[in-house]
Structure 1
Amino acid sequence: MMQISESYTQKNSLFNAMNRFIGAVNNMDHTVMVPSLLRDVPLDDEDVKPVSAADAADAANDTAYFHQDADMYSSYVLLKSIRNDIEWGVLQGDERRKDKAGVAEVSRLAAEDDDLEKQFHFHLNGLHAVLSKLTSRADTLTTRYKEEIGCRN
């Protein structure tokens, strides 16, 4: 009985979320043999349409993160870069990925220095959400690449 509850909580652990993302990007990297074929292929997938207002908002946020005018190649490079940052760490002086809205929220939470647990859970939930979206993006990119080259499994 104890193993069932442990496996459930382990499934939702940050470590496992990072491993799922890294695995999806590794799969994408092994599948995409010619990354240049991804150039000029739009990110929009007409086959996948959100069904609820919440899903539509999530989809809008997801594509906003990947830039509206970006192609699948840009996503491929970004996903590999994020994987490398997770595996090898981020340089201390690296300011390239700071989001102004995220910085404002971090500043607000930093003002509430007394509640470190709240700050931790805020960032942990955000990291889980981002990793889930990135994992989904890597899986979608892999599938769409296979479709582009005519390999349907």
Structure 2
Amino acid sequence: MQASQIRSLTGAMVTYCAAARNMEQEVMFPSLLRDVPMEQNGAELGDLYDHYIRLKAIRISLESGLVPLSTQHKHPEGAAMGTADNETLFYHHFSGLLCILGQLTSESNALTNRYSDIIGTARGA
């Protein structure tokens, strides 16, 4: 983990939710994001509109504590959940969650900046 990354789960969640809320406030016309490619490291990852919807849904789930019905019954570890060391599983998922929240925060900020570029507004320093 880099020194610049947030090391607390609560801090990472707050930072992501703030970035996602800022994205939602900044992006006044999400439909303008349709068919605009989302690129990362030279690879196209779909369009910005799909990412906007996904980032917004994750923020809502994170803040409300509600898991979408489509994912409630999926457990990737399956039977291993009952036999694995709980502490090891906790730290595995905790590290992964911190990493994902950092990536989601970066995506929210990048999408916000790209939208500003599309509509021709420059963000102040």
* Same-fold status (TM-score > 0.5): yes
Task: Find the residue that maps to 1:147 and give its secondary structure.
Answer: helix
Structure whose residues are more often strand by fraction:
2
Tell me, yes or no, if structure 1 residue 147 matches structure 2 residue 117: yes
Give the corresponding residue for 2:8: 13
2:21 corresponds to which residue?
A: 26
- Say yes or no: does 1:78 pair with 2:18: no
Structure having the higher Rg: 1
Pair 109,17 (structure 1): closer, same or farther in 2 beyond 3 Å: farther
Q: Is contact 1:109-1:119 (8 Å) kept?
A: no
Percent of residue pairs bearing the same amino acid type: 36
Q: CA RMSD in A?
A: 2.5
Give the one of 130, 134, 152 matched to 2:100. 130
Compare the two structures and name the one with the higher helix fraction: 1
* TM-score for the superposition, normalised by structure 1: 0.68
Q: Which residue identity does 1:73 align to in structure 2?
A: Y
Structure 1, gaps ≥5 residues long? 1-7, 51-59
In the alignment, is residue 95 of structure 1 matched against residue 70 of structure 2? yes
Hey, what's the Cα distance between the residues in 1 that align with 2:91 and 2:120?
Answer: 43
1:97 and 1:140 mapped to 2: Cα distance?
A: 29
Q: How many residues align?
A: 119
**Contact preservation (8 Å) 1:79, 1:138:** yes
Shift in CA distance, 96/108, structure 1 to aligned 2, threshold 3 Å = closer
Give the gaps of 5 or more residues in structure 2. Answer: none
Of 23, 42, 58, the residue aligned with 2:37 is: 42
Distance 1:86 1:116, change over 3 A: same
